[in-house]
Amino acid sequence: MMEIRLKLNGKTITDHIDADLLLIDFVRRHGCLSVKRGCETANCGLCTVLMDGKPVLSCSLLAARADGHEIYTLEGLQQEAEAFVGFIADEGADQCGFCNPGYVMNTIALLRENPNPTDDEIRAYLAGNLCRCSGYEGQLRGIRRFLNSRAEGGSHAE
Amino acid sequence: MITIHKYVRAQSLEEAYALNQSRRNRIIGGMLWLKMSTLNIATAIDLSGLGLDTIEETDDAFSIGAMVTLRQLEQHQGLNRYMNGAAAEAVSSIVGVQFRNMATVGGSLWGRFGFSDVLTLFLAADSYVELYKGGVVPLAQFAAMKPDRDILVRLIVKKTSASFAYRSMRIQRTDFPVITCAVSRVNDCFCASVGARPHKAILLRDDEGILAGGITEESAAAFASSVAQRCPTGGNLRGSAAYRTHLIRVLVKRAILALGGNA
């Protein structure tokens, strides 16, 4: 066992862990159940969390490596997500919903890094998030509608 | 599945090297490929606390730390200016942004993987790796070496009068490549690096001077044919040897034309 100390969704946490505990299991142990197992081969993006602001795959990252770093999951970014998830839902892009947390986390990272992405930039940034229901066009339309609405000064509620 | 009994964030390269002399211990890079193995690791040695996560540019070279991520390669303006965008082109189809925020240059090169876009790219440049005990070794020489217990500290890309272009073929975006090609003109010498053959990348030079008279449709096609003839290929589930040889002919020609300003 080893001790790690990190910030999870703004709260400092100290824990004793096994050396091979993966970050996905660590955050789920601490109540962040939006982070889910998908492919476990680092290909599907379902387990995306932000480490020091950058999207990473928690299924392939040792919790030990997160020692001293800041981790955010969807549980800590609800307000930021609320700005655009309604637009995605309106486009029917959330069918089974399994991929949504990973999609939302990576979209947050995209919009922080590039607040006004083109459609090609959206496709490129979200290429590491797999969805087996929607064919990806719904997510793209939803994000595009959000960006257009924001440019016009609107919000989803309006 | 891997089992790790102890994790050490090394405080120095000497500590990491000493730990790495035991065959039961393992240096972890981005851990994306390593995690797919079945391994029982006594001590996982993490280099992430050693400041090897930066790209330093001087007048003469780029020094790329072993823990620099593929995303950093993709986004580094100086490196991409020097390589005509080839660094970004080479890595931008590797899975997704999250993956590229984790996969490291050191891990990509140390593995000498057949599918490596990173090895293909840098073989076409005047590149060297700095090994902790082995010193500075040309990348082509390193690629031919068998893995040992040394540590790859950094990649050095010397700045010369050069231009680059990169092309690859994937059955589907984010998949492993079927073939990878980097071409360069370094100090008026043309060469092509071809990877995912499916074996690891090799470097083939224009020793016959096919492009010495300039880049035209004809000379680009002739050089591409020469590379395709000399480059050994094999088959796997992504493509046959014959298909790969055909792709080499097409992609090397396109990349050479891109070098000449005709993408």
pLDDT level of residue A95 (50, 70, 90 thresholds): confident
Give the tens place of pLDDT for each residue, A122-133: 999 999 999 988
Average pLDDT over residues A42-56: 97
Report domain extents, chain B. Answer: 2-45, 56-158, 162-259
List the single residue in B with minimal CA-CA distance to A129. Answer: B96
Specify the pLDDT at position A83.
Answer: 92
In 3D, which of B47, B36, B55 has the Cα closest to residue B9?
B47
* Average pLDDT for runs of 10 along chain B of length 263: 95 98 96 91 97 98 98 98 98 97 97 96 98 98 96 97 97 94 95 97 96 96 98 96 98 96 64
Q: Give all domains of chain A, ordered by start, each with its CATH number.
A: 2-75 (3.10.20.30), 77-151 (1.10.150.120)
Specify the pLDDT at position A157.
Answer: 64
**Mean pLDDT, all residues of chain A:** 94
Specify the pLDDT at position B263.
Answer: 54
State the complex-level ipTM.
0.96
One-character DSSP codes across chain A: -EEEEEEETTEEEEEEE-TT-BHHHHHHHTT-TTS--S-SSS-S-TTEEEETTEEEEGGGSBGGGGTTSEEE-GGG-HHHHHHHHHHHHHTTTTSS-TTHHHHHHHHHHHHHH-SS--HHHHHHHTTT---SSS-SHHHHHHHHHHHHHHHTT--TT-
Tell me how far the alpha carbon of residue B12 is from its chain's centroid: 26
Q: Which structure tokens are listed for A117?
A: 């992405």
Pairing of β B61-65 and β B152-158: antiparallel
Amino acid residing at B221: A
**Alpha-carbon distance A71 to B118, whole Å?**
28
How close is the nearest chain B Cα to the Cα of A86, in Å?
24
Judge whether A22 and A62 are in contact, CB under 8 Å.
yes
List the single residue in B with minimal CA-CA distance to A3. Answer: B7
Specify the pLDDT at position A37.
Answer: 93
Q: Which residues of A touch B10 (CB under 8 A)?
A: none
| Fold category of B56-158 in CATH | 3.30.465
How close is the nearest chain A Cα to the Cα of B201, in Å?
24
Interface contact A128-B95, CB threshold 8 A: yes
Which one of B98, B172, B176 makes the best mutation probe of the A interface by having the most chain A beta carbons within 10 Å? Answer: B98
Q: Which of residues 76-105 of B touch A (CB under 8 A)?
A: 92-93, 95-99, 101-102
User: Which CATH code of 3.30.70.2700, 3.90.110.10, 3.40.50.720, 3.30.390.50 fits the domain covering B162-259?
Assistant: 3.30.390.50
Q: Which of residues 166-195 of B touch A (CB under 8 A)?
A: 173-174
Q: Which residues of B touch A65 (CB under 8 A)?
A: 7, 9, 46, 48
CA B103 vs CA A39, A109, A123, B70, B199: distances in Å: 17, 18, 20, 6, 20
**Alpha-carbon distance A143 to A121, whole Å?**
12
The DSSP bridge partners found for residue B64 are B55, B155
Q: Which of residues 51-70 of A touch B (CB under 8 A)?
A: 54-57, 60-62, 64-65, 67
Specify the pLDDT at position B240.
Answer: 98
Specify the pLDDT at position B262.
Answer: 63
Q: Which structure tokens are listed for A46?
A: 């379902």
User: Quick check: B7 contacting A, CB < 8 Å?
Assistant: yes
Specify the pLDDT at position A94.
Answer: 80
Task: Tell me the CB-side half-sphere exposure of residue B225, using CA atoms within 13 A.
Answer: 7
Which residue pairs from A4-7 have beta carbons closer than 8 angstroms and sit at least 24 positions apart in sequence?
A: A4/A63, A4/A64, A4/A66, A4/A67, A4/A68, A5/A67, A5/A68, A6/A66, A6/A67, A6/A68, A6/A69, A6/A70, A6/A71, A7/A69, A7/A70, A7/A71
Give the tens place of pLDDT for each residue, B203-214: 999 999 999 999
Judge whether A24 and A71 are in contact, CB under 8 Å.
no
